[in-house]
């Protein structure tokens, strides 16, 4: 089963990448395929990531179901996608019916809204887990029901903490995703269908990972528990295995800058960055193999505010992926008249060569 994951211009690249990474790590007969429209390559340049961030969206920007499905259909035609393949659109647009997601049953096209989840799960939620749940749920529904009318006939108007909860009261979605499960009636439907076991295992595995992560994050925030961070300079990633394998991607310049602050537990005064010029240049060279003097020397131009902007972009990515509370240990903390520092105890940090 081939499943293509695409995005529209209002879906952030980081959200898309995190969703695809989580889906593609699952093992089974579902083969997740990355969008051909996005140049999501590993060797991104310093400005590439920021240039590809979503365009500002008017909060009154709405699309109909048919318009959302047309985006999927246009993608099919553009790349000659087989009619039996499934196409999921991660969309930053609102829809007139105010649904989280839906399916065009006849054409195997789907959309999942990526915005406004924080209204129900709080600002700390890492939205990619919720989006993965939506993708896997619709694939399972497609296996179980042969038409849209049969899907509608099976929905639960009263929330049970089941995949088939309609969630007319949108706050019921929190119960649905926190349980990430099926009620006895829906389990009986599965038993009556010829659903491949490896398909079900793949769905249930991802659901369990999602459920555990949401609960773990809530408890970690409550208990003030620190998670591990693995820094991979060649891949320009910060990896958080204790928070559901979240990956934060940095540009080469950002990674060199972050490494510099990790190497200085006592922090660095921004006015003395020039004293760390050689170290920063060495980090950048090891990441890129490029002895680009301009890429590092402009960081010291305090009057141009380059270093401050770089710090803000790194912190924004960390908060966007981890939430404000969990990210507090990993951001480069700004302190007035004191050195800027990353607070995490270095025993929780692994720096790969």
| CATH code (residue 297) | 1.10.10
Q: What is the pLDDT of residue 221?
A: 64
Pairwise pLDDT comparison (43 vs 194), residue with the higher score = 194
DSSP string for residues in 109-156: EEEEE-SSTHHHH-TT--HHHHHHHHHHHHHHHHHH-SSHHHHHHH-B
Same domain (yes/no): 134, 264: no
Sole residue written with tokens 């960055």:
273
Helix or strand holding residue 89 (H, E): strand 86-91
Q: What percent of the chain has pLDDT over 90?
A: 47
Q: By C-alpha distance, which of 82, 137, 118, 154 is closest to 323?
A: 118
Same domain (yes/no): 142, 57: yes
Mean pLDDT to the nearest integer, 105-122: 87
**What is this structure's pTM?**
0.73
d(CA 112, CA 10) in angstroms, rounded, equals: 12
Helix or strand holding residue 86 (H, E): strand 86-91
Q: Domain range holding 17?
A: 2-223
Pairwise pLDDT comparison (173 vs 294), residue with the higher score = 173
d(CA 310, CA 308) in angstroms, rounded, equals: 5
Same domain (yes/no): 306, 332: yes
For the chain, the average pLDDT equals: 85
Of the listed ranges 18-32, 170-184, 274-288, the least confidently predicted one is 170-184
For residue 57, the domain's CATH number is 3.40.390
Pairwise pLDDT comparison (218 vs 181), residue with the higher score = 181
Structure confidence by residue, pLDDT tens digits, 123-177: 667 788 889 999 999 999 999 998 989 999 999 989 898 999 988 776 778 888 8
Give the tokens for residue 259.
């490494």
Structure confidence by residue, pLDDT tens digits, 200-214: 999 999 998 888 777
Same domain (yes/no): 204, 329: no
The alpha carbon torsion through 175, 176, 179, 185 (nearest 10 deg) reads: 120
d(CA 269, CA 12) in angstroms, rounded, equals: 32
pLDDT band with cut points at 50, 70 and 90 for residue 90: very high
Could you tell me if 299 and 280 are in contact, meaning their C-beta atoms sit under 8 angstroms apart? yes
Of the listed ranges 61-75, 146-160, 247-261, 295-309, the least confidently predicted one is 295-309
Please determine, for residue 290, whether its predicted confidence score (pLDDT) is greater than 90.
no
Please determine, for residue 71, whether its predicted confidence score (pLDDT) is greater than 90.
yes
Number of CB atoms found within 10 A of residue 215's CB: 11
d(CA 114, CA 43) in angstroms, rounded, equals: 26
Same domain (yes/no): 189, 55: yes
Residue at which a domain ends, from 223, 239, 261: 223
Same domain (yes/no): 199, 52: yes
Residue at which a domain ends, from 170, 190, 223: 223
Q: What is the pLDDT of residue 172?
A: 79
Same domain (yes/no): 93, 173: yes
Same domain (yes/no): 22, 137: yes
Same domain (yes/no): 213, 259: no
Q: How many domains does the chain have?
A: 2
The alpha carbon torsion through 137, 143, 149, 153 (nearest 10 deg) reads: -60
Same domain (yes/no): 114, 248: no
Please determine, for residue 51, whether its predicted confidence score (pLDDT) is greater than 90.
no
pLDDT band with cut points at 50, 70 and 90 for residue 9: confident
Residue at which a domain ends, from 223, 250, 285: 223
Structure confidence by residue, pLDDT tens digits, 232-273: 999 999 999 888 778 899 999 899 999 999 999 999 988 888
Same domain (yes/no): 181, 273: no
Q: What is the pLDDT of residue 76?
A: 96
Same domain (yes/no): 165, 267: no
């Amino acid at each position: 089963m081939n499943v293509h994951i695409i995005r529209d211009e209002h879906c952030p690249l980081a959200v898309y990448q995190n969703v695809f990474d989580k889906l593609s790590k699952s093992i089974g007969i579902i083969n997740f395929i990355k969008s051909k429209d996005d140049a999501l390559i590993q060797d991104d340049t310093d400005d590439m990531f920021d240039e590809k961030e979503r365009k500002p969206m008017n909060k009154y920007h709405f699309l109909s179901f048919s318009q959302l499905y047309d985006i999927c259909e246009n993608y099919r035609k553009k790349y000659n996608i087989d009619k039996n393949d499934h196409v999921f659109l991660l969309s930053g647009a609102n829809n007139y019916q105010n649904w989280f997601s839906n399916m065009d049953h006849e054409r195997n096209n789907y959309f999942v809204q990526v915005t406004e989840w924080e209204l129900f799960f709080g600002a700390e939620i890492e939205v990619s887990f919720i989006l993965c749940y939506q993708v896997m749920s619709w694939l399972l529904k497609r296996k179980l029901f042969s038409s849209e009318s049969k899907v509608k006939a099976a929905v639960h108007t009263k929330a049970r903490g089941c995949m088939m909860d309609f969630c007319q009261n949108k706050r019921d979605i929190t119960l649905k995703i926190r349980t990430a499960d099926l009620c006895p009636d829906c389990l009986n439907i599965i038993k009556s269908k010829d659903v491949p076991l490896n398909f079900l295992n793949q769905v249930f595995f991802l659901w369990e990972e999602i459920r555990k992560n949401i609960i773990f994050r809530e408890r970690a925030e409550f208990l003030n528990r620190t998670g591990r961070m693995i820094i991979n300079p060649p891949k320009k990633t910060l990896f958080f295995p204790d928070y559901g394998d979240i990956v934060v991607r940095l540009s080469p310049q950002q990674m060199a800058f972050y490494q510099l602050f990790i190497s200085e537990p006592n922090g660095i005064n921004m006015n003395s960055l020039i004293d760390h010029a050689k170290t920063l240049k060495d980090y950048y060279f090891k990441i890129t193999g490029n002895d680009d003097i301009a890429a590092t020397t402009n960081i010291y131009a305090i009057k141009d505010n380059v270093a401050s902007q770089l710090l803000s972009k790194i912190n924004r990515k960390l908060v966007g992926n981890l939430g404000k509370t969990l990210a507090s240990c990993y951001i480069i903390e700004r302190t007035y008249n004191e050195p800027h520092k990353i607070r995490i105890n270095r025993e929780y940090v692994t720096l790969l060569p």
